[in-house]
Amino acid sequence: MPENQSAVKVYVCPSCFAREVDVIQLRWDEKDQEYYCFRCAWGGSEEKVKAFFAAFTEARYPGIRMHHPFARMAATEQRNGT
């Protein structure tokens, strides 16, 4: 990326996404310093968007943060020295 350009953060509306409605990109409001959805009027900070998707992912895919069983077995074997 050229040095004079900055990366643009693109988030989708968590409320529309969770309801499986057509996903809309959130827009940034300079005045209120928060993201908002023009379709459903959801609004929140970047941290709120990230927290929503973290909770949604954990609820939708339980155990997603668990390591593969073989990786757990290998780690156990290394600790036991076998």
**Is pTM, for the whole model, over 0.85?**
no
Does residue 6 lie within any of the structural domains?
no
Domain of residue 52, residue span: 14-80
Q: Is residue 46 part of a domain?
A: yes
Could you report the per-residue pLDDT of 51-63, keeping only the tens digit for each? 888 888 878 877 6
Mapped onto helix, strand or coil, the DSSP state of residue 24 is coil
16-61: pLDDT as tens digits: 888 887 878 899 888 988 999 988 888 999 899 888 888 888 788 7
Q: E strands along 1-82, which residues?
A: 27-29, 34-36, 43-44
Give domain status of residue 1, yes or no. Answer: no
Domain count, the chain: 1
* Residue 59, in any domain of the structure: yes
The verdict on residue 3 lying in a domain is no
Query: Is 28 within the bounds of a domain?
Result: yes
